[in-house]
Each structure stands twice: as C-alpha cells, then as structure tokens.
C-alpha cells in the first residue's frame, strides 16, 4: 500500500465526512484497497496507515462495564496485529466439513458487515452474513439453504472464519484499576483511526487558516510544508 500524501489524507477525511459513520474509515484507503477486502486484510491496511500517519503507539480510553470508571489505554500496534491470510486475486472459498454437512464459505468483507449491521436483530444479522458468505452447503449431498443450517454448524462456520481471519476480531484484555473487574473489549481499528484523523484534520485546518492569515500563503503552500517547518512558522506568528 502506497503511503498517502498529507493532502490526500485531508481529501480522504473530507470524503469520509459525507459517509455514514460505519463507512468513514473506508474513505481513508485508496478505492481499490477497501470494501471488497476480507475484514482482517482491511484492518491490517488501516493499521499500516495508522502507523504511517501517527506512529505505532496507540492511546485511548475504555469505560469499565462494571463500575463506569474510565481506563486510560496505551499499547503498540504490534500488540493488535495478527497474521493476514495470503491470497492471489479474489478472496478464495474455504472448505469445511461438520458431521454430514459439506460447506464452502468466504471471509466476510466490510460490505457484508455493513449489510448485516442494517438488520434489526442479532439473529437477522447472522442470517445476512450466512446468506452472503456461505457459497455452498449440502447435507449428504443434498443442497441446504444457509438459513436452514443448524446452530452447531453455524457456530463451526463462525469459528472457522475467526481462525482464518484473526485480524478481523481483535480484543483487548482489560482490567479496571478502580474495581478490579476484568473483561475483553473489541478493538475497532477503523473507528479508532477515523477519530484520530478527524481530530488531526481539524487541527490542520486551523494551522492553515493561521498561517494563511499571517503570511498570505495558500492552503496548498501551507500543506507542502513539513510538519516540523509548519510548527516552526506557527511559533513565529504573533512575534
């Protein structure tokens, strides 16, 4: 993945503002890098972008589900990085046998996740994913609709997806310093990165306005400056 320019990242942020919240992180990647990728590969690319833009250290806050206390988090990107399955071309189908069921499935993409997110219930969301991602299912040679698969078969499919795409389901092991409660919290790199990019972009616009006003520069001229030089010029404003 090619590293974006500052102007490209700012343009991506502007495009993302016009999208639903769950789709904004996709705008940060090039058009051919996003929606059709398996979720784990998508998250890996977003994590790589995060390293380039803001470095490997991630800081955040989690709320304890037991006592409501806020817990400050600080961890390295390597700690939430999992292997991404190698592939050539389109995402492959995977084979799975459960009892007398023969199954084929592909890994969910962000498009599948967005379709499932529109379902009214968890069970309905599960059906959406099954219907989209199970590409073949038979029992003793007879076709079976994905929605008709028994619960234990569905559970094995979900486990198999998680095994083949661990980056898609990263959880942080947390412990509350106030009450001692321990739990696991899902880490959504897309939402995390979008929040950081949004905060960064708004700061950049303030910098552009201040330097343009002080020196008569255009936005393009300000954005061509390195971060170090931009900060140096900002320090001169008002002297």
Residue-range domain boundaries for the chain: 6-61+75-82+186-236, 94-164
pLDDT band at 239 (very low <50, low <70, confident <90, very high): low
- What's the mean pLDDT in 118-131? 92
* CA pair distance 161, 156, nearest whole angstrom: 9
* CA pair distance 229, 193, nearest whole angstrom: 25
- What does the pLDDT look like over 193-230, one tens digit per residue? 999 999 999 999 999 999 999 999 999 999 999 889 99
Using DSSP, state whether 92 is helix, strand or coil. coil
Using DSSP, state whether 121 is helix, strand or coil. coil
**What is the overall mean pLDDT for the chain?**
91
pLDDT band at 175 (very low <50, low <70, confident <90, very high): very high
CB environment 161-191: b (16+ within 10 A), e (fewer) = beebbebbebeeebebeeeeeeeebebebbe
Q: Which of 229, 178, 187, 176 lies closest to 207 in space, CA to CA?
A: 229
pLDDT band at 89 (very low <50, low <70, confident <90, very high): low
- Tracing tokens 């303030």 back to the chain, one arrives at 206
Q: What is the model's pLDDT at position 94?
A: 95
Q: Which of 97, 100, 83 lies closest to 41 in space, CA to CA?
A: 83
* CA pair distance 188, 197, nearest whole angstrom: 14
């Amino acid at each position: 993945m090619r590293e974006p320019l500052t102007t490209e990242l700012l343009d991506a942020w502007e495009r993302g503002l016009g999208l639903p919240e769950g789709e904004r992180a996709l705008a940060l990647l090039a058009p051919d890098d996003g929606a059709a990728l398996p979720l784990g590969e998508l998250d890996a690319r977003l994590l790589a972008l995060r390293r380039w833009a803001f470095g490997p250290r991630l800081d955040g806050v989690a709320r304890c589900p037991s006592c409501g206390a806020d817990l400050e988090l600080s961890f390295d990107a390597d700690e939430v990085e999992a292997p991404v399955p190698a592939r050539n071309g389109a995402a492959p189908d995977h084979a799975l046998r459960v009892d007398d069921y023969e199954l084929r499935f592909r890994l969910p993409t962000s498009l599948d996740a967005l379709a499932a997110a529109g379902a009214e219930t968890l069970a309905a969301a599960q059906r959406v994913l099954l219907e989209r991602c199970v590409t073949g299912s038979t029992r003793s040679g007879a076709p079976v609709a994905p929605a008709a698969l028994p619960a234990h078969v569905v559970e094995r499919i979900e486990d198999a997806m998680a095994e083949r795409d661990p980056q898609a389901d990263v959880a942080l092991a947390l412990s509350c310093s106030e009450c001692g409660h321990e739990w696991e919290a899902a880490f959504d790199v897309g939402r995390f990165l979008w929040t950081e990019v949004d905060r960064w972009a708004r700061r950049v616009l303030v910098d552009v306005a201040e330097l343009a006003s002080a020196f008569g520069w255009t936005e393009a001229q300000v954005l061509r400056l390195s971060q170090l030089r931009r900060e140096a010029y900002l320090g001169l404003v008002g002297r």
